[in-house]
Amino acid sequence: MTSPLHHLQRAGRLERLFINGHWILPEGRERVSVICPSTEQSLCEIALGDARDAERAVLAARGAFPVWSATPPQQRAALLGRIHALLLERSDLFAAALTLEMGAPIGYARSAHVPLAAEHLRVARDNLASYPFIRPRGTTAILREPIGVCALITPWNWPIYQITAKVGPALAAGCTVVLKPSELSPLSALLFAEIVAEAGAPPGVFNLVSGTGAEVGATLAAHPQVDMVSITGSTRAGVLVAQAAAPGVKRVAQELGGKSPNIVLPDADLAQAIPPGVVAAFRNMGQSCSAPTRLIVPRNQLDRVHQLALAALGQMKVGDPMDAATTHGPLANRAQFERVQQMIEAGLRDGARLLAGGPGRPEGLARGFYARPTIFSDVHANMVIAQQEIFGPVLAILPYDTVEEAIAIANDTVYGLGAHVQGTDKEQLRAVAARIQSGQVHLNYPAWDPQAPFGGYKQSGNGREYGIEGMEEYMEVKSVLGYYG
């Protein structure tokens, strides 16, 4: 397998930013180590940009916007198609980078992280090809126009997936972008900048500035020449970005935290409902904002739920993410490892029943940010582990006596990003879904749909990503009266 580190070092990418079509040295000299989560050792150092670099990138994007926004949709779609093809062509390189930088098992990086990221590009390309930018409404024309320069701030947990979920529709809409990836998992972002350049993006249309949220993120959010900010991250980070953006009255799209419920209705087939629920809660080592980490089940079926949940857990193997047999690797960074340990201790203090896992590393793993997949039962809705986002492999089982109580438990959270409902009565499934306060609801574990808009209620954010709605997020609406008079 080609080493992404060797590739990036040989090309001189680690010490450079991508601005206005060129790989350039940053204005400052700050560097940060990229830590391998499976060894806790430094992989390399990358250069961090500062406010001056963010300024250069914004001005480059502003300069490119008039021409790019007027480019025919078929030309923009062609660029997206070339980026999509290059991402698939180099899928092994991207997968290896993800394994190194954030601990994704190589098999999962290949089967989920990279192909799902590619799907965002394909969907953006295909939607653009048939999108009606002008629609009649009587004698009025409703126009959709690109909003302008967009700052895109992406997280460390699904690095390339979140990049394509933003860059694809933004470019499709006719916007120019400045990407600030997480400095904790930057390798896949640098590889992505390479393929955007190779695909022939005009100078200034796509720019990448590595840096911290406090420096580069804050500069981008407050910059008067930035028309929109799209951030995926914690609710705390989303609030800070919105506050910085507020004086400019710019649009802010936020995909933030979650504490997603999974309601198992009384008529559900537990053998079909519980094992996939455990797998979904622990996907990406629990580091998914929409992971259904609250399993809400009938109290009178609790023993059977326990049996099935433990059996599902027994199929998981935590270990070296480069091992093809590994299903779950380390947590992505030290801060997240420590957060998960604290939350497991909080569950024990609050009196939740520990079914499996617990504090510390799994047996045989003395080094690396490995955590024990943990299941608590007899969890009450007011416990810390039922209210706060853990962002790790911790599942809380909450029993209920009535469906009304189950719905109340599901909605008893400040978040509202994703939800699941399991059962056999289709009408009841739909009725329960209608009453859950979340931006997306999955009924009986359907296939992932890249056209399904994704976003949150309440403190899970605002705005939508994916599909047509994801592209429209990067557009302004203009009505021209008398257009058809």
DSSP one-letter code for 381: T
Question: What's the N-to-C CA distance of the chain in angstroms?
Answer: 63
**DSSP SS3 for 473:** coil
Mean pLDDT, rounded, of the chain: 97
Instruction: Give the tens place of pLDDT for each residue, 73-101.
Output: 999 999 999 999 999 999 999 999 999 99
Give the number of other CB atoms < 10 A from CB of residue 109.
26
Q: State the pLDDT at residue 485.
A: 84
Q: State the pLDDT at residue 395.
A: 98
Q: How many whole angstroms separate alpha carbon 105 and alpha carbon 328? A: 6
Q: State the pLDDT at residue 472.
A: 98
**Residue 375 near residue 307, CB atoms below 8 Å:** no
User: Beta strand 251-255 with 353-356: parallel, antiparallel or unpaired?
Assistant: unpaired
Across the beta sheet with 294-298, the strand order is 353-356, 374-377, 394-400, 294-298, 261-264, 418-422, 440-443
Task: Mention every residue, 6+ apart, whose C-beta is less than 8 A from residue 300.
Answer: none
Cα 227 to Cα 41, 60, 147, 224: the distances in Å are 39, 14, 7, 8
Pick out the chain residues at pLDDT < 50: none
Amino acid identity at 292 = P
Instruction: Give the tens place of pLDDT for each residue, 162-205.
Output: 999 999 999 999 999 999 999 999 999 999 999 999 999 999 99
What phi, psi does 233 have (nearest 5°)?
Answer: 175, -160
Catalytic residue among 289, 389, 472, 473: 289
Catalytic (active site) residue 289? yes
Nearest to 276 by CA among 325, 317, 311, 326: 311
Q: State the pLDDT at residue 432.
A: 98
Catalytic residue among 119, 183, 255, 473: 255
Q: Which residue ranges form the domains of the chain, and what is each CATH number? A: 4-256+460-480 (3.40.605.10), 261-450 (3.40.309.10)
Q: How many whole angstroms separate alpha carbon 424 and alpha carbon 408? A: 21
What phi, psi does 230 have (nearest 5°)?
Answer: -120, 120
Structure tokens at 277: 């629920």
Task: Mention every residue, 6+ apart, whose C-beta is less than 8 A from residue 201.
Answer: 21, 79, 83, 171
Catalytic (active site) residue 55? no
Q: State the pLDDT at residue 1.
A: 55
Q: State the pLDDT at residue 29.
A: 85
Give the number of other CB atoms < 10 A from CB of residue 33.
12
